[in-house]
Amino acid sequence: MTDKIVRDRELSDTQLVPDLLTGTDIGTWQAEYLLREVEFERLMHGKPVTYNWANSIALATFGFCLNIGAKGYSDISRVSSGEWVALAAGFGIAAILYLIGLALPDRRKEVIKNIRDHFEQAPTKRQVFKGESE
């Protein structure tokens, strides 16, 4: 490309100016977060396994609770003390496993925190983009 400087002249013919920004758009740019495969896996499967155990036991205990409710609907004395103990133990074990899961490191939360920190610290910049030529 050659530079052509025109001064103090009146132009009467069309001048072609390559790479001129016409129809510009202004956008916001922010650095992207490069999500690695290991981080994706942690997002998908990063919860402590005790959550799964707690959910399984809680759901089974809830089903048992429905069974006891149906059994004792007409006469509560038909429900034995062993069934009440099993019901309490099921909900107690589920609660303990859930609390253990809260105490264990949660890799999913670590990745989410890293992503959040990245976007809080990455500055946003306004940038002019080349639009459609008219």
Mean pLDDT of 30-43: 86
**Residue linked to tokens 């790479």:** 19
The predicted structure's pLDDT at residue 61: 96
Give the count of domains, the chain.
1
pLDDT tens digits, one per residue of 107-130:
888 888 888 998 888 888 887 776
Domain boundaries, position 85: 34-126
Q: Does the pLDDT of residue 21 top 90, yes or no?
A: no
d(CA 46, CA 60): 24
The predicted structure's pLDDT at residue 1: 54
Give exposure, 17-40, as e/b (b: 16+ Cβ within 10 Å): eeeeeeeeeeeeeeeeeeeeeebe
| Whether this model's pTM surpasses 0.75 | no
Cα angle, residue 47 at apex, residues 41 and 50 outer, rounded to 5°: 140
Residue 19 lies in a domain: no
**At residue 88, what are phi and psi to the nearest 5 degrees?**
-65, -40
